Each structure stands twice: as structure tokens, then as C-alpha cells.
């Protein structure tokens, strides 16, 4: 079982729709969770971090965490073509020196 | 101002050569990392240093040797390059165990 699992996609949504990206993780002691966005040929860019169960909103982005189900999600409201990228879910293993374990990423395509 | 910078951006070399990649951060962070992203875009940590001390050393061939001369710099030296070393190498930094910020990457191609 992979430590962090994501559906590779591509996930295609029309412009203006809500994009829902999902991630599951295997290590129950994980405490910090991150969503990075990576455009083709560019470096990962942090868009959301979440540490507690529930929802965290930042502009058009909402991260959701459910530690009991070991599940993290990212919702993008009013999706724009500029949101088209690969979204990487990452789990922080502080007990291993702040080691970030990444999922394989979900490709999102927003069609205008 | 560039927060995390890497040089070179592209590196093309022959098998068997030795090469280095340099990383510098001006964020005042105390922890730096090297990640490798392979052709399938899977991003995996290789090393991390905290205050010049090696903290994480994943299962990486000993041909890879990181060096941290000070908190702001972390270099990666690779000996006897192999075809399988072709990838994008990202440097990242953080303040202690906080959020990690990535550099622009170095695309290494081994011929």
C-alpha cells in the first residue's frame, strides 16, 4: 500500500464548476497535510495546509481533513483554466525529520 | 528576490561523469532538502539538513553526496552518473518543521 494515494486523473471539469481532488494516507500518526500545485515544467507551489479535522477555506480553495478516515480533499470553486495543473497531496512525518511524503498527483484540466 | 534558487537549471552530461547542483535560500530557514522527481512525476525526498546536520538520508545510492556549508546552502554532488539518474531535482527549505518551499528545479539528463 502506498503511503499517500491519489487518483492520477486527468480530472476534467468545465470552467466555473467545482473541482474535487481526493487523497488518502496510510500512517495514522501523520499530523500535517499539504496541497501543492505544480504546473508543467515548474516547481511545486504550496496552496493549502491543514492540521485539524474539518474544513479550511482560503479564497476559492477549501481543504478538508478527516483523520478517522485518513482522508484529505481539496475543493476548488469556480474553476478557471489557469487552475489546470497537477495537484500533489503531501503528508508530513515530523518524527522522521519533517519528511514530506507525496502522492503521485492528480492532473486537473479545466475546460473553457 | 528569489527565495530558493538552484543552479544550474539544466544539466546535460554523459554517463560516468561527476556533477554538482547548488541550492541557496534567502528565507532565513534552518532546514533544507533535496527531492527527486522522476519521469512519472513522482516526487520523493532524498536528504534533509537542519542547521548543517544531516537529518534525513533516504535509500539513495552513495554516489549521491549532499553538503551543507552553512544554513543557507545545500549542494548535491553526484558521482559516476547513470542513465537512471535523469530526473528533475528540487531543493526546498523550511523553518524547522514548518511548510517547505521549493526551488525552481534542475533538470538533469544523462546520455
Q: B52-72 pLDDT, tens per residue?
A: 888 888 878 999 999 999 999
Q: Do B99 and A102 touch (CB under 8 A)?
A: no
- B41 touching A (Cβ < 8 Å): yes
Q: Do A46 and B96 touch (CB under 8 A)?
A: no
Residues 6+ apart with CB under 8 A from A96: B56
Nearest-Cα distance to chain B for A79, in Å, is: 23
Of B50, B90, B97, which is closest to A43 when you measure between CB atoms? B90
Residue whose entry in the numeric block shows the C-alpha cell 497531496: A89
In sequence order, what DSSP letters do the residues of B71-109 get, joined into one string?
Answer: TTEEEEEE-S--GGG-EEEEEEEESTTS--EE---EEEE
- B90 touching A (Cβ < 8 Å): yes
- B99 touching A (Cβ < 8 Å): yes
In A, which residues are within 8 Å of B100 by CB distance?
Answer: 46, 98, 100
Query: pLDDT tens digit string along A49-94?
Result: 999 999 999 999 999 999 999 999 999 999 999 999 999 999 987 7
Query: pLDDT tens digit string along B27-52?
Result: 999 999 999 999 888 899 999 988 88
Give dist(CA A72, CA A56) in Å, integer.
11
In B, which residues are within 8 Å of A36 by CB distance?
Answer: 102
Please check the confidence at residue A96 and state whether its pLDDT lies above 90: no
Distance of CA B61 to the CA centre of its chain: 14
Nearest-Cα distance to chain B for A77, in Å, is: 24
Phi, psi of A95 (to 5 degrees): -65, -10
In sequence order, what DSSP letters do the residues of B25-37 get, joined into one string?
Answer: E-S--SEEEEEEE
- B43 touching A (Cβ < 8 Å): yes
Query: pLDDT tens digit string along B101-111?
Result: 999 999 999 99
pLDDT score recorded for residue B55: 85
**Best CA proximity match to A80, nearest among A31, A24, A15, A34:** A15
The residue with greater pLDDT, B81 or A27, is B81
Of B31, B102, B103, which is closest to A98 when you measure between CB atoms? B31
A83: left (phi over 0), alpha (psi -120 to 50) or beta: alpha
In B, which residues are within 8 Å of A88 by CB distance?
Answer: 43
Q: Do B96 and A86 touch (CB under 8 A)?
A: no
Q: Do A98 and B55 touch (CB under 8 A)?
A: yes
Give dist(CA B76, CA B102) in Å, integer.
15
Cβ contact B73:B24 at 8 Å: yes
pLDDT score recorded for residue B1: 60
Amino acid at each position: 500500500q502506498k503511503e499517500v494515494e491519489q487518483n492520477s486523473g486527468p480530472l476534467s471539469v468545465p470552467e466555473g464548476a467545482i473541482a474535487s481532488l481526493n487523497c488518502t494516507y496510510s500512517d495514522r500518526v501523520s499530523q500535517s497535510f499539504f496541497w501543492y500545485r505544480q504546473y508543467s515544467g515548474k516547481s511545486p507551489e504550496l496552496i493549502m495546509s491543514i492540521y485539524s479535522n474539518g474544513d479550511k477555506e482560503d479564497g476559492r480553495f477549501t481543504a478538508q481533513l478527516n483523520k478517522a478516515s485518513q482522508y484529505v480533499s481539496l475543493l476548488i470553486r469556480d474553476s478557471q483554466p489557469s487552475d489546470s495543473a497537477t495537484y500533489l497531496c503531501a503528508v508530513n512525518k515530523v518524527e522522521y525529520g519533517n519528511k514530506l511524503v507525496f502522492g503521485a498527483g492528480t492532473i486537473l484540466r479545466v475546460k473553457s | 528576490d528569489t527565495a530558493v534558487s538552484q543552479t544550474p537549471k539544466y544539466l546535460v552530461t554523459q554517463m560516468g561523469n561527476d556533477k554538482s547542483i547548488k541550492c541557496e535560500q534567502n528565507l532565513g530557514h534552518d532546514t533544507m532538502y533535496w527531492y527527486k522527481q522522476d519521469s512519472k512525476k513522482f516526487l520523493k525526498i532524498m536528504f534533509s539538513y537542519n542547521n548543517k546536520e544531516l537529518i534525513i538520508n533516504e535509500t539513495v545510492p552513495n554516489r549521491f553526496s549532499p553538503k551543507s556549508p552553512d544554513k543557507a546552502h545545500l549542494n548535491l554532488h553526484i558521482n559516476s552518473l547513470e542513465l537512471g539518474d535523469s530526473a528533475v531535482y528540487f531543493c526546498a527549505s523550511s523553518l524547522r518543521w514548518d511548510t517547505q518551499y521549493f526551488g525552481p528545479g534542475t533538470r538533469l539528463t544523462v546520455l
